[in-house]
Amino acid sequence: MEKFAFIIHPMDLKRDAARKYPILKYLPLRAVEQIALRISPKIMSHITGVKSTTGVEAEGWLLGCPLSPQQLLELPVEVVYDKIADAGRLGAELGAKVVGLGAFTSVAGDAGISVAQRLEGVINVTSGNSYTVYSGIEGLLHAAELMDIDISKARAAIIGATGSIGAVCAQLLSNRVADLALVGRNAEKLEALRTEVLAQNDEARRASLWVATDIRSALRDADLVLAVSGSTDTLIYPDDLKVGAVVCDVARPRDVSKQVVEKRNDVLVIEGGVIEVPGDVNFNFNFGFPDKTAYACMSETMLMALEQTYEPYTLGRNLTVKQVQRIGQIAKKHGFKLAGFRSFEQAVTDETIAAVRTNAQRKRHAALVGTPQANSDNGTARKGSEERGLKVEDTAMPVL
| 38 and 179 share one domain | no
Claim to verify: residue 268 and residue 294 sit in the same structural domain: no
* In a shared domain, residues 189 and 117: no
Burial 5-15 (b: 16+ CB within 10 A, else e): bbbbbbeebbe
Q: Are residues 18 and 72 in the same domain?
A: yes
Same domain, 137 and 122: no
What does the pLDDT look like over 329-377, one tens digit per residue?
A: 999 999 999 988 989 878 899 999 999 999 999 999 998 887 655 444 4
35 and 97 share one domain: yes
293, 309, 335 - which closes a domain = 335
Strand partners of residue 63? 7, 43
The answer to the question of residue 397 being in a domain is no
Does residue 65 sit within a domain? yes
Q: Which domain holds residue 194?
A: 131-272+346-388
d(CA 87, CA 102): 12
Give domain status of residue 393, yes or no.
no
Examine the domain organization and report whether 382 and 244 are in the same domain: yes
Per-residue pLDDT for 317 more than 70? yes
Residues pairing with 282 in the sheet? 48
Helix/strand/coil for 292:
coil
Q: Which of 146, 215, 202 is nearest to 174 (CA)?
A: 202
Q: Give the end of a domain, one of 292, 312, 335.
A: 335
Is there a domain that residue 8 lies in? yes
Specify whether 63 is located in the same domain as 97: yes
Asked, for residue 341, whether it belongs to a domain, the answer is no
Contact predicate 385/215, CB 8 Å: yes
CATH code where residue 150 lies: 3.40.50.720
Q: How far apart are CA 194 and CA 161, in angstroms?
A: 10
pLDDT at position 394 is 38
Q: Which of 337, 335, 309 is nearest to 323 (CA)?
A: 309
Percent of the chain with pLDDT over 90: 72
pLDDT band at 393 (very low <50, low <70, confident <90, very high): very low
Please check whether residue 396 lies inside any domain of the structure. Answer: no
Q: What is the pLDDT of residues 182-210, one digit of tens each?
A: 999 999 999 999 999 998 876 666 558 99
Number of structural domains (the chain) is 2
Q: What is the pLDDT of residue 9?
A: 95
> Residues 6 or more apart from 356 whose CB is under 8 A from it?
147, 265, 266, 267, 268
Shared domain check, 267 and 152: yes
Amino acid 119: pLDDT: 97
Show which of 292, 307, 335 is a domain's final residue. 335
Give the pLDDT confidence score for residue 372 in this predicted structure: 58
How far CA 161 is from CA of 54, 169, 251, 255, in Å, comes to: 37, 8, 12, 13
Asked which of 111-120, 230-239, 372-381 is least confident by mean pLDDT, the reply is 372-381
Q: Give the residue, 369 or 9, on which the prediction is more confident.
A: 9
Residue at 395 is within a domain:
no
The answer on 286 and 241 residing in a single domain is: no
Tell me the CATH number at 87.
Answer: 3.40.50
Is the same domain home to 161 and 265?
A: yes
For 13-34, the pLDDT digits (tens) are 989 888 878 888 899 999 999 9
> Is 119 within 8 Å of 310 (Cβ atoms)?
no
pLDDT score, position 207: 53
Please report how many Cα atoms fall inside a 13 Å half-sphere around the Cα of residue 294, on the Cβ side.
Answer: 28
What does each C-alpha distance from 234 to 129, 227, 339, 400 come to in angstroms?
21, 11, 28, 17
162 in Cβ contact with 190 (< 8 Å): yes
Is the same domain home to 147 and 265?
yes
pLDDT digit string, tens, across residues 67-97: 999 999 999 999 999 999 999 999 999 999 9
Read off the DSSP letter of residue 27: S
